[in-house]
Structure 1
Amino acid sequence: MDDMYYMDDDKLAKIISKFDMPIEKYSIKKNGEFGESEVYWVIQNQNNSAQYLLVNTYWHPGLKTEIDFYKKEGFNINKPIQRRTETLEVPEDKNDPIRKYLYYDLYAIFLIQ
């Protein structure tokens, strides 16, 4: 992927297409940083108003630890969104407890309330 800090509609649509979530129109509601090289966007489904936390970070210590961190940062995480199996770069990643949630080992998406 290109610049990790940049997000436009095309890049957002490409990332969303890799995850098991409705492929519909999304808009960026908010963006920010957790720290060095840790960028996030709050995105919203334009059809049903569902909101998601899209993160771009090299830090993936495990799902529970990562979710706890985002909760401490003020995000009410409902659930992580897995990758679409057919879009995985390595098919065996569907069984990996961390990689099945990652795109390019950087992007992860969580449904938030």
Structure 2
Amino acid sequence: MWFVAGIRLGAGTVVDVLAARIRHAEHAARTSEDAMLEFERDHTRLQDEVHRLEAELAELRVRRIEAYTRWWNARDDRDRQRHVARRLRRRLERVQRRGRVFDGRAEGCEGC
């Protein structure tokens, strides 16, 4: 004999109560399993998205480094050309101070 809330239950009633509790527990387990499957799908989708974004980020980092390298090389070229221009300008000024005529043509260049 079972007693529930002070009520005496017969064997048939106990079986019915236990069967109802089993059905409820099994339904809750199925509901949880369905939720787990949905969460697993979400996790897989998000994991794929993370991998895709990480690959894109790695590619962007490489492109950023390449862009910086191009900028750095252009800066070096600019500085080098400025240096050459300064040297040539100083040379021109020295030639002009010495009184030499500078007409823009190289020596011995006829018809240039």
* Greater gyration radius: 2
Structures share fold, TM-score greater than 0.5:
no
Q: Which TM-score tier does this pair reach, normalised by the shorter chain? A: under 0.3
Larger relative contact order (Cα-Cα within 8 Å, sequence gap ≥ 6): 1
After TM superposition, the score normalised by the length of structure 2 is 0.17
User: Which has the larger share of strand?
Assistant: 1
